[in-house]
Structure 1
Amino acid sequence: MNGLELLTTTRAFRRRLDLTRPVDRRYLLACLDIAVHAPSGTNRQPWRFVVVQDPAVKQQIAEYYRKGFAAYLSARTPRPDQLADLASGSYLADHLHEVPALVVVCSLGRPPADPSTLRGASYYGSIYPAVWNLLLALHERGLGATMTTAHLAYEREIADLLAIPFDEVAQVAMLPVAHLRPGPAAPPARRTPAAELTSWDIWTL
């Protein structure tokens, strides 16, 4: 696919993940090699990755994830237009332990207590571009994933499980990665045109 197709058809893939087909480590490394070309503040390149393929470890992570996702659901009243996405999220939570690979994305240092500060913007702004690069690289190779964060409710427990030094390294996302099951190519998503979301010189929205 060309660049425009890639940028407009990369999705949060959940139900289309093929839970039966292993993902070769070489494919994962090739995509991670693209992820690390992302920009970061002062070029500090804070990203680190833990790829989990061991079934027993995936099962333990999935149990924490399901508890975090359940807490997330109980704390909100979804709009009618969000019900399909939440059902898709519930499907992923139920099957997370079956996904061939879980990529835990980490960043060196702990995030600031108040993420709305300049330091918070810099911290997350230096790691999430790498996550997006990874999602694009996976999609271009016929793999799918979605950026998830429900496991972060149990970040310390998962850090202990994966031997991540909690005081020095923060987990910021987890990507369940699998080949995509056959199906029609996703069309560009319906989005509000940018002209309706953009002000010029002064806020008018």
Structure 2
Amino acid sequence: MDPDTLLTTTRSVRRKLDLDRQVEPEVLTECLSIAQQAPIAGAFVDGFRWLVIRDQHLKNQLAGMIRAAGERSQAEYGHLAPPRTLASGRYLLDILERIPVYVLPCLSGRPTGGNALLSAFYGSVYPALWSLQLALRSRGLGSSIVGYHLAEHESDAAELLGIPDGVTQVSLLAVGYTTTTTFSPGARPPIQEITYYDHWGKTG
């Protein structure tokens, strides 16, 4: 797959995850090794950890937390999403226990302060998360960020998984093989309409 196709067709996969095919540990390790090469602020590199969850009992308990928070979020904000997107998100919530693997990126510390510090903290993880999604896609796997539990149940998940105090769960990625290899670029606004030059609102 050429780089442009990979970059433009890596979608959040929900309905097209293969719930019955297991993800081989060596494939996931390979993808995580690639993701670990993503840009990260030097001050945070030593505190970055991946937590891979495959145990069914743990997935069941996490799924309950995610679903409860996700259903509340959709009830409150669902009217802001297109119906198809909302239905896809609801489907994922319904089948969370059957997702083969969860991947939880964590970073030591608890972010406080202004926008610059928050940007550096979370911005040190999301490039690796995106790299992981790209590496997965190139090997026939799909993924979707499903971190609803972080708003209300981060401490519950930490207790369940043995995550130490002072470690932040940044996101949660649901991972599995896909039932199709055909994905298309998403519908996005024309770049000419959303790119400004030198001053806000100046498009040319």
Normalised by the size of structure 1, how large is the TM-score? 0.93
SS in 2 for 1:42: coil
Deviation at 1:190, TM superposition (A): 2.0
User: Quick one: which amino acid aligns to residue 73 of structure 1?
Assistant: Q
Runs of 4+ in 1 over 2 A off after TM superposition: none
* Number of the residue aligned with 1:104: 104
Counterparts of 1:58 and 1:39, CA distance in 2: 30
| 5+ residue gaps, structure 2 | none
Q: Distance in 1 between matches of 2:199 and 2:4?
A: 30
1:83 aligns with 2:83: yes
Contact 2:146 2:173 in 1 (8 A): yes
- Deviation of the 1:176 alpha carbon: 0.8
Question: Matched residue of 1:40: which SS?
Answer: coil
1:196 to 190, 193, 198: 193
**What amino acid sits opposite 1:107 in the alignment?**
L
Task: Return the offset for 1:77.
Answer: 4.8
What corresponds to 2:21 in structure 1? 21
Shift of 1:13: 0.3
Q: Structure 1: how far apart are the matches of 2:176 and 2:200?
A: 42
1:43: Cα distance to partner? 5.8
Which residue of 2 is the match for residue 119 of structure 1?
Answer: 117
- The amino acid of 1:118's aligned partner reads A
Per the alignment, residue 155 of structure 1 pairs with: 154
The letter for the 1-side match of 2:191 is A
Match of 2:68 in 1: 67
CA contact (8 A) 1:51 1:101 kept: yes
Alignment of 1:49 onto 2:50: yes
1:58 offset after TM fit, Å?
A: 0.5
SS of 2:91's partner is helix
- d(CA) in 2 for partners of 1:111, 1:44: 12
State the distance in 2 between where 1:172 and 1:127 align.
7
CA distance in 2, matches of 1:43, 1:164: 21
1:47 shift after superposition: 2.3
Decide which of 124, 130, 154 is 2:128's aligned counterpart.
130
Residue identity matched to 2:91: Y
Contact persistence 1:47–1:130 (CA under 8 A): no
How many residue pairs were aligned?
200
| Structure 1 residues not aligned, in runs of 5+ | none
Contact 2:78 2:86 in 1 (8 A): no
